[in-house]
Structure 1
Amino acid sequence: MNIKKILLTTAVAVSSMSCGKKYLELANPNQQTTATFWKNDNDALMAVNAIYQSLYYDGTFLRFAQCALDFRGDDMMSPSPWDVLSNTGSFKLFNNMIMQQWLWIAFYGGVTRSNFVLDNLHKVPFKDQNLANRLKGEALFLRGLNYYYLVTFFNNIPLVTKFYDNSSEYFPSQAATQDVWNQIYQDFDEASKLLPVSYSGADLGRATKGAALAFLGKSYLFNQKYDLASAKFKEVMNLGGYDLMANYGDNFTEAQENNKESIFEIQFSREVGGITLGWVSSPAADWSKTTARAITFAPAPFGWGDAAPTQWIVDEYKKEKTKTGEDDPRLRASIYYNYPGCKLYGQSFQTVYAADLNKIGVKKYGNGDGSVPDEKDWRSGINERLMRYSDVLLMYAECQNELDNRAECAKYIQRVRNRANLPDREAEFAALSKENMRERISHERALEFALEGHRFDDIRRWGWLQNPTKLAELKTHDPEFNSYVAGREFFSIPQAEIDVNKNLKQNSGY
């Protein structure tokens, strides 16, 4: 597979021999090799840092992962002129395969780096055993995280759990999907036993015990293991320290990063590194640690406008007024639209879009409330929140419904609603049937996580794409679903990977 081409940022080099002949080799004293690395605690720390670096590539969370997660939901569409993006949302990715290829390479790059660390940590004579345990926990968490995204994107994937430095061994077949999930469970579970509850200072943002437990619970939930998922979410809740932010919008700004609602987020910053965008290849000192999500998602003329909310999600927000008779405040925190006083990037919505006041645009994860005039420098420093505490609460509520604990389910749904100042309907919800509660949960999750990349995964795991009634409903929410073909809830295996590895088989539907 092409994943062997991913380079490690720890600058570890493997010396080579040519054609079996021995030549005079002069060692560069400034270059690390496998013989000189893994000598101390700092070597191990740098190697683990390199795994986090894999989350900054274009195929991960510089840009493409957000597009892959968001565009296929009924809360968002892609009007992009670039077919790679617009075809993602309409399930037509079978000609230009850049999306699939970059996702595959970048996330497997994270797996490779994790395996490299896990295979070599034992070589380090750690002075600090707590650090040794923590770094192993971080590597396990990050491998689990990369596999979590790979299996939810592609479903049928190879499972590689050791580091290979011999390319002739890089031709594995696809594993049974359940075997991949079992490995994910194992990695998150073991990580949860090694990681600390929190960090401070320069370590803020590293994987925590809560992050491992939350993703383990979510992985169980994706596989209908409701009792196991419920237990893990409860463990997160019992850790203490997590809570909902009073202001919903604080979860998507640079000013309120790593707040009490955040369980795991990718650390972006305009103040670290240089200004060169890290698209591909091995990182250099001038690489930026920023994300291109903002310019990709922001409405024109402030960004490229490659993403747009659907009218359906706007209307969904307006179905229920707050206790004071206003629109759900999460709508204005997520979406630009024509309401009195709406401003973006210092300009009036009514002035900018005077020719089309029905326009709606993505606000969430943008810099429209700040001092920048637009997103055209491609360098947003807003952290990507992959797991929020509100997600744990609503996933826990969902488990309680499936376990026939409707009253407990209603309690946690209302807890999330309270922040939006929505009416107290806990008693009403507690009396719902299981099926009606499922509908309520789908509505509440849509509003809480709109434009955050959760909606399509929810739709898929609920089986809506295989339900003719639900699929017809999705088509009314977002016409892009008219192009859906059975099997395309997963991306195709990149053809370039199949060409290299004849053991790979294409997914159905392509």
Structure 2
Amino acid sequence: MTFDFKNIVSGAGLAAILGLGALGTSSCQKEFIELNDPTRIPTADSYTDSLSIFNGVTAAYSSLQDLYGRAGGPRGIFIFGEIPSDNSYTVTSGERLNEFNDFSLFSDNPNIQSYWLSTYRCIARCNLILSRAGGVKLTDATRNRYYGEVRFIRALAYFNAVRIWGDVPLVTQELPSIQDAYPFGRRPVAEVYKQIEDDLDFAEKNLPVAQTGTNLGRATKGAATTLLGKVLLTQKKYQAAADKLQPLATGSTYALQATYANVFATNNEMNSEIIFAARYTKGTLGLGSAFTTWFMPAYTTAQSTSLLGASFTGQQFNTVDPDLIAAFTASGTTDVRAATSYVLPAGAATTLGYYTKKYIDTPTSATDAENDWIVLRHADLLLMYAEAVNEATGPNSLALTAVNQVIRRSRGLPVATANATVDLPASTTAETLRTRLELERRLELNFEGHRWFDLVRTNRAITVMNAFFTRTGSSVRIDQNDLLFPIPVQEIQTNPILTQNPGYN
């Protein structure tokens, strides 16, 4: 049977997403993935030369736009990482995003189904390369680099999946037919994490330290190391996470940008702070991002023009919650991150909602902006390293130096210069550092898809969110069942050996 990458196979069912029929059209992203014809991806049966393998790796990278947000496709990781948290809320109900906001999710929610399909489409693309590249004439170094790239992407897809759903089907080989997909039930979280660690260990050993020129944006050794550190931290393997992250936290491979706003500037993409990003480019190829308008409230023509340089309609998918603004206010008026984290245009009522400035651009159309989605960056790494050290052994000088760099920049100070006024002192206790890290991660990484997963990882989600609901006068309360999202009912209907997460029908 021949499967054509040019045709996306749609439809529900585990069989569809685990088979090669799930592999769809790939397209180039930025200049780092240039194809002679980006609309033509070879069929599985034509993986016989180096160019077709390169194009297949490109297809795997293209899948990241589905995982992090694609116009006309899945809304992306923010529906899991931000909307359920105290950082943001959604105004729209037509797409059933409100179910994430108030923990009223049903297993037939189309956003859940769409993300599941996209996850396994991405994994299938990676598995195809791992299956076929061994029979193609390539140098060992090139083959292993391609393997490293797709194993990094596969690990990232599974890491998101296991945090969203817990136990998930674990597929690591090409499936030649639909029938071959049916035996795959959910595998224990520990087994999935073992595969993720194996993939990242291989990627770390075989990816280059840096990608430059037309390869800029492809996965690197540092990206694999950082993601592996986050995977270990999430599993509470604190000492292993600290050991993994320390060389990058104390080294010079990556560096904080001098100013917070520069991290997100569209004319400064893949800067010294960016470790890995899902890449987008506006223009005429349909490769732009939609976050600029997706996250904007329903401002007037004049108000949206004042922000974007042109008038666009805000979709209100991911609006800044007043509770995040209150957290910035409580942290002190000198926190320069606030100016990039939210804005209310002149004349707009606060009831319309605040807008995150991290994704501001002037789109060529409503869903065609330049903004990348930053997956991993150095500030995240520094805070993860400090957390890992703190939980493993308590604070030490290296951990405090890491978090103090982030704090200094948040006050507009040089990151490498000690400042007794703002720095956490050597006497900082483990509990004090733990509390401060929770706050710093919220303020530093808001609207980047981390908040909900951070709260779950630190066993703080139920406490923090129920306090938030009480504080805001909401009757919503969450419990242990709300820490995972429902398995799409369409998948269970197609493959009855799949089971549902507790608390969902």
Structure 2 Cα separation of the partners of residues 478 and 186 of structure 1: 43
- Give 1:253 shift: 2.5
C-alpha contact (below 8 Å) 1:89/1:480 kept by paired residues: no
C-alpha contact (below 8 Å) 2:87/2:324 kept by paired residues: yes
- Alignment equivalent of 2:76, drawn from 64, 69, 75: 64
Task: Look up the match of 1:361.
Answer: 354
Moved more, 67-76 or 145-154: 67-76
Structure 1 Cα separation of the partners of residues 26 and 411 of structure 2: 48
AA partner of residue 293 (structure 2):
I
Please give the per-residue CA displacement for 1:470-496, whole angstroms capped at 9, x wherever unaligned: 453232466678243431221100000
The number of equivalent residue pairs is 452
Please give the per-residue CA displacement for 1:209-240, whole angstroms capped at 9, x wherever unaligned: 00000000000000100111111111333663
Task: Look up the match of 1:454.
Answer: 450
Structure 1 Cα separation of the partners of residues 135 and 47 of structure 2: 6
C-alpha contact (below 8 Å) 2:68/2:373 kept by paired residues: no
Structure 2 Cα separation of the partners of residues 61 and 31 of structure 1: 19
- Give 1:82 shift: 2.3
Moved more, 130-139 or 201-210: 130-139
SS of 2:396's partner is helix
- The answer to whether residue 390 in structure 2 is matched with residue 390 in structure 1 is no
- The answer to whether residue 123 in structure 2 is matched with residue 133 in structure 1 is no
Please give the per-residue CA displacement for 1:155-206, whole angstroms capped at 9, x wherever unaligned: 1211111110211111211101100011111111110000001111111000
For structure 1, the 5+ residue unaligned runs are 12-29, 275-287, 338-348
- Alignment equivalent of 1:350, drawn from 342, 346, 349: 346
SS of 1:406's partner is coil
Structure 1 Cα separation of the partners of residues 475 and 240 of structure 2: 33
C-alpha contact (below 8 Å) 1:90/1:484 kept by paired residues: no
- Alignment equivalent of 1:142, drawn from 132, 145, 153: 153
- Alignment equivalent of 2:404, drawn from 414, 417, 423: 414
SS of 1:386's partner is strand
SS of 1:236's partner is helix
Moved more, 485-494 or 234-243: 234-243
Give the % identical residues: 27
Please give the per-residue CA displacement for 1:322-372, whole angstroms capped at 9, x wherever unaligned: xxxx431101111013xxxxxxxxxxx223x1xx256542223322xx5x3
- Structure 1 pair 31/100, CA: closer, same or farther in 2 (3 Å)? closer
Task: Look up the match of 1:231.
Answer: 243
Following superposition of structure 1 onto structure 2, how do residues 153-302 of structure 1 map, counting pairs within 5 Å? Answer: 153-171=164-182, 172-237=184-249, 240-271=252-283, 274=285, 288-301=286-299, 302=304
SS of 2:481's partner is coil
- Structure 1 pair 32/48, CA: closer, same or farther in 2 (3 Å)? closer
- The answer to whether residue 486 in structure 2 is matched with residue 497 in structure 1 is no
C-alpha contact (below 8 Å) 1:77/1:480 kept by paired residues: no
- Alignment equivalent of 1:7, drawn from 23, 28, 33: 23
- Structure 1 pair 488/480, CA: closer, same or farther in 2 (3 Å)? farther
Structure 1 Cα separation of the partners of residues 80 and 70 of structure 2: 10
Task: Look up the match of 1:332.
Answer: 339
Structure 2 Cα separation of the partners of residues 31 and 198 of structure 1: 26
- The answer to whether residue 390 in structure 2 is matched with residue 401 in structure 1 is yes
Structure 2 Cα separation of the partners of residues 151 and 406 of structure 1: 30
The ranges of structure 1 where at least 4 consecutive aligned residues each deviate by more than 3 angstroms after the TM superposition are: 8-11, 30-35, 58-62, 357-360, 422-430, 476-481
- Structure 1 pair 169/336, CA: closer, same or farther in 2 (3 Å)? same
Structure 2 Cα separation of the partners of residues 110 and 376 of structure 1: 27
Task: Look up the match of 2:7.
Answer: none
- Structure 1 pair 478/166, CA: closer, same or farther in 2 (3 Å)? farther
AA partner of residue 418 (structure 1):
R
Structure 2 Cα separation of the partners of residues 33 and 419 of structure 1: 49
Task: Look up the match of 1:311.
Answer: 322
AA partner of residue 232 (structure 1):
K
Task: Look up the match of 1:379.
Answer: 368
- Structure 1 pair 239/58, CA: closer, same or farther in 2 (3 Å)? closer
Moved more, 425-434 or 195-204: 425-434
TM-score normalised according to structure 2 size: 0.84
AA partner of residue 333 (structure 1):
T
| Larger CA Rg, structure 1 vs 2 | 1
AA partner of residue 420 (structure 1):
S
Task: Look up the match of 1:105.
Answer: 117
- Give 1:460 shift: 0.6
- Give 1:427 shift: 6.5
Moved more, 202-211 or 72-81: 72-81
- The answer to whether residue 134 in structure 2 is matched with residue 122 in structure 1 is yes
Structure 2 Cα separation of the partners of residues 236 and 264 of structure 1: 14
